[in-house]
Structure 1
């Protein structure tokens, strides 16, 4: 299946309802925020009421499209039974959702800190609060979904958790919002590739659809914040910001599928990890998910040579 490769160009347009195109070239953060507030009022959804969490899971359905498994295309994948393949995709996507919760906690703190003593009557301030509310609901949704699918909670490595704590306490301006954009863009393409795949569990497809819908607004907001932040900045700050963003991106992307997920799926975790690291297909899928992100970072002057080294290490370039 090739749906994972199909995506509209986010450098010029975005969708607020999985179909309606919103101009990416609005006049500024305040104008964009006003439009996003109106979109959120019309189109926000709630997984707690929309999904019947009591329904049994179809044992024949995957946790994500097989093509998005980190082992797809490897010799190990070819050796697995269909039951094992289903199990590993469920544990992989549970890991991705749990890492998503971790980063959404970071995101919420950065946005709250950025808007502290902001213009309470302004659209930018009000949409920032909408985004925080969305992320709270998304985190609950991911928690419920991973619990239902595999019953296991995954967290980043201890050192990554500590670095994330430092990042959320210090990142601001273009570093904070570009960091937010990195996490959202990568997961967005993954979920777009899975949400219409009938081989995937129905409730997971709904989770993906809700997240894609609402994150399209968050990504647009983040891009406008980055554009505003980089206006007129000097060479040294640009170089520093680009490097910190890339280091954050490396931590996020390399943490998505935790080694424990392979073990919980009943696989040889060491072998699975080795095969994932050498899996050209998986690396290609990651690069495809980062195409428009890299174009945007280049557009705003945040794709520097030192930064590119980290993106390549994470298979994002």
Structure 2
């Protein structure tokens, strides 16, 4: 008979993933205070983000704009997206802290959760400094969105909390992978995007694993409810990415800009591209129901 006394103890999937992520964080993490050249002058000829990611790219309005107007618009757009990132990172930190409250601090998933929170604190400061460097005041979501965010962070848990986190991270990840390679994009944005992409890749892996663990074996009713909550969170995040005030502050006709952005087929296609991996994962988890689909299609994520 084979003795089981020295057999290794089975490690939960979440624990194994978290241990690997902790090793990765120890090997490759950044301090934006040192990595970003905060003293460098901003080249007036460089965009805030790749023009193709502008909400107006390809519209009649874009074609009528001067190059200086396009550059100014993209700088306001990227600062609006960064400001939305800060807003949701603050929601994220509170949800993760609440989820890990009084759990086993020796567990690697607990330790990685705190590592993620530390990363998000640095990212928020990094985005705030980048907007300040560009001379652009922070964009704050409207009151209804702020209150919805307050409610979401208070009640979301398990797969809904990590689903909301994943939505915000996945959509921004695809955008920033383009920004960090954009030769016509400000080095400030390219560097902050690179830092965010590298560190958020670990956060996304953690969120996916947490969602798989939390949803496994749950009832169809639970999946339907969670699917709707995650879709509503997606609406809250995506609809706040580019504020209407961006167009005002860029010196444009805001009402016309909003209309053209709303009907911009090119930008709709870019949003679907940025959501492909996210939608595939949510499908695999059984979290894309008919009501959720309606919301995602309105957001041009499907």
Give the alignment's TM-score, normalised by structure 1.
Answer: 0.91
Match of 1:53 among 23, 35, 38: 38
Aligned-partner Cα distance in 1 for 2:292–2:21? 31
Shift of 1:119: 1.0
Deviations, residues 81-138 of structure 1 (Å, cap 9, x unaligned): 0000000000000000000000000000000000001110010000000000000000
SS in 1 for 2:183: coil
Shift of 1:150: 3.3
Are 1:180 and 2:162 counterparts? no
Question: Are the aligned partners of 1:94 and 1:150 in contact in 2 as well (CA < 8 Å)?
Answer: no
Are 1:84 and 2:87 counterparts? no
Match of 1:192 among 177, 191, 195: 177
| Aligned pairs for 1:104-115 within 5 A | 104-115=89-100
| Corresponding residue of 1:21 | none
CA RMSD, Structure 1 to Structure 2 (Å): 1.0
Shift of 1:270: 1.0
| Corresponding residue of 1:168 | 153
Are 1:102 and 2:91 counterparts? no
Shift of 1:27: 6.6
Question: Are the aligned partners of 1:107 and 1:168 in contact in 2 as well (CA < 8 Å)?
Answer: yes
Deviations, residues 175-207 of structure 1 (Å, cap 9, x unaligned): 000110000000000000111111000111000
| Aligned pairs for 1:201-240 within 5 A | 201-240=186-225
Aligned-partner Cα distance in 1 for 2:78–2:252? 15
| Aligned pairs for 1:263-278 within 5 A | 263-278=248-263
Shift of 1:52: 2.1
Aligned-partner Cα distance in 1 for 2:120–2:105? 20
Question: Are the aligned partners of 2:76 and 2:136 in contact in 1 as well (CA < 8 Å)?
Answer: no
| Corresponding residue of 1:155 | 140
Deviations, residues 2-37 of structure 1 (Å, cap 9, x unaligned): xxxxxxxxxxxxxxxxxxxxxxxx971100000000
| Corresponding residue of 1:31 | 16
| Corresponding residue of 2:5 | none
| Corresponding residue of 1:298 | 283
Q: Which runs of 4+ in 1 moved over 6 A?
A: none
- Aligned pair count? 292
Aligned-partner Cα distance in 1 for 2:284–2:146? 30
| Corresponding residue of 2:127 | 142
